[in-house]
Amino acid sequence: MRTYKADLFRFVMKKGAFFLLWSVVLMPFCFTTTGCNDRRPVADDSLSVEVDSDSIREAEEQGVMPKGADELFDDFFFNFAGNKRLQSQRIQFPLPVFENGEKVRQMEKKQWAMDYFFMEDGYYTLIFDNAEQMEIVNDTSVVHVVLEKIFLEKKNVVQYVFDNIDGKWMMTSIHENEMYQNTNASFLDFYQKFATDSAFQQHSINEFVTFTAPDPDDDFSTITGTITPEQWPMFKPGLIPEGVIWNVIYGQQYVSDNQKYFVVRGVANGLEIQMTFRKKGLNWKLVKFNY
């Protein structure tokens, strides 16, 4: 008979090998004009655009968006971030740039440099209030999206604004703001320290944390259990982004000051980490994670 303690023991023993493999998987990622069409396996929470090799080759040569990619922002963006010609075509020039709410300049087309955004990192991050908000990623009615590049140490946020105009996604403006002005400022302040200070990180673990992780005995199954703060170093995910993180606002309204879902997603692989934080009194605590 299998026991939960035995599962945990096998999981800890296998964890080192698992994350070594994980680091290898993270290394290769795509820079094609199809935006890594196979960036992650098609799952219930993800849609993909089917294009054949001829369509891919044509897109690369002409700098055009594959058919159907404008329906979902994610499909558009992974093409936009990987194709220099397409990127310049999908920016409304002159592009207005704002700092702390004031327009400071207009960027001409010749001033724009190719930006791979998070593609070079091999992963990106997302912030939601709850699990239900995550469904908006697949909502084809979304016509306004804000991509946030969050500099945790500098406490600065750059927002790239995209609008779907006549069926085509376009970048329409850039906004640079101090982090304290951000809707998620309280959580971002906390997360910056959580990601970089190991003592603070362990102190920010809830008394009991629910986790789901790969089953060490079955690559296609998972195990679920609880850990205490003392066990956190053995079980924590192998990737906790720091320095610069990203967030995509698909239209979700941030109304909760007491709970945040922090999601890490791979660009060209099936990596996904979800960490749930809740505010207990004045302090944020990690209460659940899965990967």
Instruction: Give the count of beta carbons closer than 10 Å to the beta carbon of residue 42.
Output: 10
Q: Which two tokens stand for residue 166?
A: 């006549």
**Dist CA 25 CA 17 (whole Å):** 12
Per-residue pLDDT for 49 more than 50?
A: no
Per-residue pLDDT for 247 more than 50?
A: yes
Q: Which of 168, 127, 109, 138 is nearest to 44 (CA)?
A: 138
pLDDT digits (tens, 9 = 90+) for 18-38: 444 344 334 333 333 333 333
Per-residue pLDDT for 12 more than 80?
A: no
pLDDT digits (tens, 9 = 90+) for 139-175: 999 999 999 999 999 999 999 999 999 999 999 999 9
pLDDT digits (tens, 9 = 90+) for 262-282: 999 999 888 999 999 999 999
Please report which confidence band the pLDDT of residue 58 belongs to, taking 50, 70 and 90 as the band edges: low
**pLDDT, position 39:** 36
Query: Which residues lie below 8 Å from residue 234, measured CB to CB, with a gap of 6+?
Result: 12, 15, 227
| Residue type, position 198, single letter | S
- The rounded percent of the chain whose pLDDT value lies above 90 is 70
pLDDT digits (tens, 9 = 90+) for 119-142: 999 999 999 999 999 999 999 999
Higher pLDDT, 222 or 94: 94
